[in-house]
Amino acid sequence: MISVLTIPALLNKIPLSVLASILFLVGYKLAKPALFKSMYHLGWKQFVPFMITIIGIIFTDLLMGISMGLVLAIVIILLESYKNSHSTELDEKSVNITLAEEVTFINKDSIFSELDKVKPESSVNINMKNNKYLDNDIIEILNDFLETKSERKLKVTIQSDKGTFENPVNISEINI
């Protein structure tokens, strides 16, 4: 920075090919082949955003390349979050649903479809003990499910940190 401010005329006399070779050497030292190997061994969810970032930087510019890699990484994270919202165990007359630590609006469709599959006259156990965050959209789905439980003759048990609740009317009773 000091050189740029004090001797800009002298810096302009340096051939661009020399600056390019210096940047190439610094880039090679920062991104050794071992780094590419280690990123590859971490799996495609790490390797693909890494490569998109590098390719984006090479063919566009630094900001665009980083943005491309960041957007791809966010999409991968959101897709994984969508898949891991809950786990379900189905028996003949019972359904056990365990909610993840954080359940957001992204998981609305998958949880709704699981609750919609519950057969009439079943026993439903919703385990929320590990849950730390429950989005309002999910609370709305659970409340709608609880409103229709009597029509479908369901026995609903909700387990949370506050205790076990048999056939609650809505989620606000549980004080999540």
Greatest alpha-carbon pair distance for the chain in Å reads: 85
Q: What pLDDT does 175 receive? A: 58
Q: Is 159 helix (H, G, I), strand (E, B) or coil?
A: strand
Instruction: List, for the chain, all residue ranges whose pLDDT scores fall below the cut of 70.
Output: 175-176
pLDDT confidence of residue 50? 93
Residue 113 and residue 60: Cα distance in Å, rounded? Answer: 42
Task: Tell how many helices (H) and how many strands (E) occur in the chain.
Answer: 8, 7
Q: From 147, 153, 154, 140, select the one nearest 169 (Cα to Cα).
A: 147
Using DSSP, state whether 161 is helix, strand or coil: coil
- Cβ 78 vs Cβ 86: under 8 Å: no
What residue segments make up the domains of the chain, in order of their start? 2-81, 85-174
Domain 85-174 has CATH 3.40.50.10490: no
Which pLDDT score is estimated for 42?
A: 92
Residue 136 has which token pair?
């309002």
Are 105 and 74 a contacting pair, CB within 8 Å? Answer: no
pLDDT at 22: 87
CA 102 to chain centre: 10
Q: What is the pLDDT of residue 55?
A: 92
pTM across the whole model: 0.60
Query: What is residue 72's predicted lDDT score, i.e. its pLDDT?
Result: 96
